[in-house]
Amino acid sequence: MYVSVGFSDNPDSEAAVTAAINSALENSQRQGSCSLIMLFATIAHDQHFIRRIISNQLGADTLVIGGGAIGVVTNSGFGYSGYQLGVAMIWLESVDCRLYVESAMMDREREVGISIGSRLKKKGLEPDTPAILFYDAIDRSQGELRLNLATPLLQGLEESLGFLPRRLVGAGLMSDFECSAGQVWTGRGGDSGHSVLLTFLGDLRLDSIVFHGCHPAGEYYTVTKAEKQMILEIDGQPALSYLESRLKPAMTAEDFPFFMIFGVNRNPPGSNNHELYANRLCLGINRDREGIVMFESDMMAGTRFQIMYRSIDLEYIPPRVNQLFSNLGNRRPVFAFYIDCAGRTGGFSEGVEDALVVRDTVADRVPLLGIYSGVEIAPILGIPRTLDWTGVFCLFSLPPE
């Protein structure tokens, strides 16, 4: 397996795709098409159009996965909320891959997970098989904003497969902060509302680490009423006005989206490791229903939580990245993929850009492609979980030559 990446922020979509592909080819010193392309772009680009450009330039049979992203980072490029576009051209060589695609996720996430899991089971998927899941986090099919949810998707996958792959990572894709309708590319097709699971067969290994950056602040609250991903009551009071009254004048409800984080303590008794909190990021508010809309649906009635304060420690990122490289032993790193929560961009994190620290730490050791996403998926204590306000650093490696 060989990987090369390219980046562009040209506002002309055709020129951006061409520049990114040419950059990747120049870096690889190879000619022509590859086996697989990972492609991500913001909503500033016509996503149907750039998919057609890829087919025109590299052939209709070239597999393309990826979709919308709020921003992109590579070894030499970085940006978000603009015209960013990134590609990873992958020559599989001794590695093979399989794609499992589902459409129409809205209100049937569990069924989608069951369907994918049943096909994985028939193929004899091993627990340590490297796997990447991309799904469309945003649904605009009925006009108003609705979310596709990863929690029931993973529940359905585990239900039919019998386990969750230990090396499964993934992202709920978003194309901008306004939650516009986006795309998920699924090999030779793709559209809104799709999901795709990619598995790799052969000697490829996927190792990952999760960067947190939150600590609990004070007292516990209890969700007393919820509907899907909307929290309606907290401690028996209307959720929005109750929490707003507790936080004024420091914050108003309009400050909650992409900033307010709730943490559910998953620590065993006697431990208080902040990295074992399940953190949930606020997507929006609903004044009419006094609701707080979260990115996931697992904060139901009875859930106890704390408000989390942001404290990204940039100094702890390089040692953990370097340790992951060291843990490879004599294996060869071939590709790094970084999934970063959109809430961790500098605009929501007091100018702190953790993705740049990751990029600088990786340096030129391996091709790097990173994206800003809505939801992250990564193993915590060996079990893939849906995450918010995290960075997931993934490192792919092969045995020594």
Query: If pLDDT is split at 50, 70 and 90, which confidence band does 3 have?
Result: very high
What is the predicted pLDDT for the residue at 380? 87
Res. 310: pLDDT tops 90: no
Domain carrying residue 257: 218-310
Same domain, residue pair 55 and 115:
yes
- State mean pLDDT over 83-109: 95
Res. 270: pLDDT tops 80: no
Same domain, residue pair 19 and 111:
yes
Same domain, residue pair 118 and 96:
yes
Same domain, residue pair 119 and 223:
no
Res. 167: pLDDT tops 90: yes
Res. 297: pLDDT tops 80: yes
- The pTM of this model reads 0.93
Contacts of 303 by beta carbon, 8 Å cutoff, 6+ apart: 222, 223, 226, 264
Res. 272: pLDDT tops 80: no
Domain boundary among 310, 328, 355: 310
Same domain, residue pair 302 and 353:
no
- State mean pLDDT over 254-263: 92
Six token digits for residue 320: 């953990």
Res. 113: pLDDT tops 80: yes
Same domain, residue pair 302 and 180:
no
Query: If pLDDT is split at 50, 70 and 90, which confidence band does 213 have?
Result: confident
Q: How many residues does the chain have?
A: 401
Q: Kindly report, residue by residue over 37-75, the tens digit of the pLDDT.
A: 999 999 999 988 999 999 999 988 899 999 999 999 999
Same domain, residue pair 244 and 141:
no
Same domain, residue pair 168 and 28:
yes
What is the predicted pLDDT for the residue at 63? 95
Same domain, residue pair 257 and 369:
no
Higher pLDDT, 234 or 189: 234
What's the total number of domains in the chain? 2
Mean pLDDT of the chain: 94
Six token digits for residue 369: 């492609």
Same domain, residue pair 198 and 251:
no
Q: Kindly report, residue by residue over 326-360, the tens digit of the pLDDT.
A: 999 999 999 999 999 998 999 888 788 999 999 99
- State mean pLDDT over 81-91: 97
Domain boundary among 293, 310, 327: 310
HEC readout, the chain: CEEEEEEECCCCHHHHHHHHHHHHHHHHCCCCCCCEEEEEECCCCCHHHHHHHHHHHHCCCCEEEEEECCEEEECCCEEECCCCEEEEEEECCCCEEEEEEECCCCCCHHHHHHHHHHHHHHCCCCCCCCEEEEEECEECCCCCCEECCHHHHHHHHHHHHCCCCCCEEEEEECCCCCCCCCCEEEECCEECCCEEEEEEECCCEEEEEEECCEEEEEEEEEEEEEECCEEEEECCEEHHHHHHHHHCCCCCHHHCCCCCEEEEECCCCCCCCHHHEEEEEEEEEECCCCEEEECCCCCCCCCEEEEEEECCCHHHHHHHHHHHHHHCCCCEEEEEEEEEEHHHCHHHCCCCCHHHHHHHHHCCCCCEEEEEECEEEEEECCEEEEECCCEEEEEEEECCC
Res. 32: pLDDT tops 80: no
Listed ranges 14-23, 247-256, 342-351; the one with the highest mean pLDDT: 14-23
